[in-house]
């Protein structure tokens, strides 16, 4: 069956919009590790990617993202920016990038058949944030330090583990997502053993952030996700672009087509939408904005205007003018999207990568630097995260010291069934990483004081 033939009526009698057509050569990317059927007799109006999106959206890990603040310490509810907000913005921006690729590039380009449908975009955009622990980078550093002898912790690696193993839906297969969703969530396709530097993890606590990678123990999941590709393509795809050296972690190579699309969308969301929140919170000033230097030719081509013109709208008293200026910034990046390729790979989903024009990428890098320095690096945000990271590590130690009496019954059963001490620590970290900020602080007050 090349396409879905049945459209079921909803209970209220309204016939839902049919799912996008799926071609026969897509079937290998729609497969699930459990081997469950791609199409169902009932509910066949949903294709596999629509079901993936629903599974991610209704998962416990995704719901907890609403309580994981991105600007904790400075956000008193005025902007209410969380990891869930970032995921939603990335999904929306990815749709815009998709439309730009469809309408501003030749329909005969070899990568046009790869363009994902909206359900697939949202499943990946939402899923990629699931592995982020409470308190952002500080929480990631805390759990990585606590697990340093047991394989470490990484938010990007945790995402893959949750999707493929831990999040409850299908026994032993996590949410059992489609192969293409797994590949799209593999934002850093390198095993930890190839990019981790022990000397790089031995410095100051605030510099112990783990490398982007997947866990060595999840190699079988990655191998399965890459089965449609040749062995030479899979090997080249998993090789780091930079190996660890001089006390620094290595760097994974580029992700596949879908991962790069969502990656660009996430970068725009941070560079523009978090910047907007920084302006509203008084963290970004017009003086700091005017130091930015976009390429004049590119700015004219995308009708961006000079920074001084945007400054009047961004920092003026009119909220409507600010929103329009933000829209102008977003559009400038959306229409600057293009597709690059690697000559050493044959599989199309690995060979092609969505990126921005050089001038647009350079300006987005300036925005990102500004955001990380002034907004995400604001003293209030850093103090909130640092305190939260210490609380998270202290809570992990407290539960580990007396799991039989302190862990809830369900988690205690999981702990007791683990086959080794290392597995017990990993499962405890899984549970703690899924908790929202408020829950970690409540545990800390109860267990540590």
> Both 265 and 406 in a single domain?
no
> Both 289 and 392 in a single domain?
no
Banded pLDDT at 326 (limits 50, 70, 90): very high
For 200-211, the pLDDT digits (tens) are 555 555 457 899
Lowest mean pLDDT across 165-169, 200-204, 410-414:
200-204
Work out the angle at residue 349's Cα, subtended by the Cα atoms of residues 346 and 354, and round it to the nearest 5 degrees: 115
Residue 305 lies in a domain: yes
> Both 340 and 268 in a single domain?
yes
Residue 332 lies in a domain: yes
Per-residue pLDDT, 44: 63
| DSSP annotation string for 380-426 | HHHHHHHHHHHHHHHHHHHHHHSHHHHS-HHHHHHHHH-SSHHHHHH
Of 342, 360, 377, which residue is a domain's last? 377
Which segment, 4-13, 16-25, 195-204, 260-269, is predicted with the most confidence on average? 260-269
> Both 157 and 175 in a single domain?
yes
- For 265-279, what is the mean pLDDT? 95
Of 360, 377, 394, which residue is a domain's last? 377
Per-residue pLDDT, 206: 47
Per-residue pLDDT, 349: 94
Residue 145 lies in a domain: no
Burial class (CB in 10 A: 0-12, 13-18, 19+), 293: exposed
> Both 11 and 100 in a single domain?
yes
Residue 399 lies in a domain: yes
Burial class (CB in 10 A: 0-12, 13-18, 19+), 298: middle
Strand-strand pairing, 337-341 and 352-356:
antiparallel
Q: Are 169 and 175 in contact (CB under 8 A)?
A: yes
Query: Does the pLDDT value for residue 147 go beyond 50?
Result: yes
> Both 13 and 99 in a single domain?
yes
Query: Does the pLDDT value for residue 274 go beyond 50?
Result: yes
> Both 300 and 426 in a single domain?
no
Looking at residue 361, which CATH number applies to its domain? 1.10.3210.10
pTM over 0.85: yes
- For 391-416, what is the mean pLDDT? 93
Query: Does the pLDDT value for residue 40 go beyond 80?
Result: no
Residue 250 lies in a domain: yes
> Both 352 and 437 in a single domain?
no
> Both 303 and 285 in a single domain?
yes
As a whole number, the mean pLDDT across the chain is 88
The total number of structural domains in the chain stands at 2
Q: Are 276 and 322 in contact (CB under 8 A)?
A: yes
Query: Which helix (DSSP H) or strand (DSSP E) does residue 267 occupy?
Result: helix 257-268
Lowest mean pLDDT across 4-8, 29-33, 185-189, 293-297:
4-8
End-to-end, the C-alpha distance of the chain in Å comes to: 61
Residue 141 lies in a domain: no
Residue 146 lies in a domain: no
- Provide the sign of the torsion angle of the four alpha carbons 285, 290, 292, 298, taken in this order: positive
> Both 64 and 210 in a single domain?
yes
Query: Does the pLDDT value for residue 12 go beyond 80?
Result: no
| Residue whose C-alpha is closest to residue 237's, from 222, 253, 248 | 253
Residue 138 lies in a domain: no
Banded pLDDT at 287 (limits 50, 70, 90): very high
Banded pLDDT at 213 (limits 50, 70, 90): very high
> Both 18 and 34 in a single domain?
yes
Banded pLDDT at 307 (limits 50, 70, 90): confident
For 343-392, the pLDDT digits (tens) are 999 999 999 999 999 999 999 999 999 999 999 999 999 999 999 999 99
Question: Rounded to whole angstroms, how far apart are CA atoms 52 and 180?
Answer: 10
Banded pLDDT at 172 (limits 50, 70, 90): confident
Residue 388's domain spans which residues?
Answer: 382-447
- For 256-283, what is the mean pLDDT? 95
Of 352, 377, 402, which residue is a domain's last? 377
Question: Rounded to whole angstroms, how far apart are CA atoms 80 and 71?
Answer: 8
> Both 426 and 343 in a single domain?
no
Query: Does the pLDDT value for residue 77 go beyond 80?
Result: no
């Amino acid at each position: 069956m090349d396409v879905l033939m049945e459209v079921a009526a909803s209970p209220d009698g309204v016939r839902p919009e049919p799912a996008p057509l799926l071609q026969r050569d897509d079937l290998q990317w729609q497969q699930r590790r459990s081997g469950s059927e791609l199409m169902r007799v009932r509910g066949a109006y949903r294709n596999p990617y629509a079901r993936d999106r629903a599974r991610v959206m209704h998962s416990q890990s995704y719901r907890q993202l609403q309580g994981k603040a991105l600007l904790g310490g400075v956000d008193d509810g005025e902007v209410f920016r969380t990891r869930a907000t970032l995921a939603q913005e990335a999904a929306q921006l990815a749709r815009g990038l998709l439309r730009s690729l469809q309408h501003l590039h030749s329909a005969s380009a070899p990568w046009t058949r790869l363009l994902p449908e909206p359900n697939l975009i949202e499943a990946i955009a939402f899923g990629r944030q699931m592995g982020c622990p409470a308190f952002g980078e500080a929480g990631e550093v805390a759990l990585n330090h606590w697990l340093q002898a047991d394989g470490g912790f990484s938010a990007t690696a945790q995402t893959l583990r949750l999707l493929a193993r831990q999040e409850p839906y299908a026994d032993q297969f996590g949410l059992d997502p489609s192969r293409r969703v797994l590949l799209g969530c593999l934002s850093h396709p390198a095993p930890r053993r190839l990019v981790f530097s022990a000397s790089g993890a031995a410095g100051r606590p605030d510099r112990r952030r783990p490398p982007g990678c997947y866990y060595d123990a999840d190699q079988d999941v990655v191998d399965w996700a890459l089965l449609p590709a040749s062995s030479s393509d899979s090997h080249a795809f998993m090789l780091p672009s930079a190996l660890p050296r001089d006390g620094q972690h290595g760097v994974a190579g580029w992700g596949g087509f879908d991962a790069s699309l969502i990656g660009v969308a996430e970068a725009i969301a941070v560079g523009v939408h978090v910047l907007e929140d920084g302006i509203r919170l008084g963290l970004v000033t017009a003086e700091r904005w005017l130091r930015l230097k976009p390429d004049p030719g590119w700015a004219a081509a995308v009708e961006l205007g000079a920074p001084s013109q945007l400054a009047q709208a961004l920092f003026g008293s009119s909220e409507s003018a600010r929103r329009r200026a933000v829209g102008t910034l977003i559009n400038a990046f959306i229409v600057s999207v293009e597709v690059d390729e690697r000559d050493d790979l044959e599989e199309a989903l690995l060979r092609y990568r969505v990126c921005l024009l050089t001038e647009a990428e350079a300006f987005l890098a300036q925005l990102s630097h500004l955001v990380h320095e002034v907004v995400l690096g604001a003293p209030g945000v850093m103090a909130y995260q640092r305190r939260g990271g210490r609380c998270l590590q202290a809570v992990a130690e407290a539960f580990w010291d007396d799991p039989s009496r302190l862990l809830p019954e369900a988690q205690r059963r999981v702990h007791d069934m683990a086959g080794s001490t290392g597995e017990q620590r990993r499962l405890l970290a899984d549970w703690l990483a899924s908790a929202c900020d408020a829950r970690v602080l409540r545990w800390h007050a109860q267990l540590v004081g």
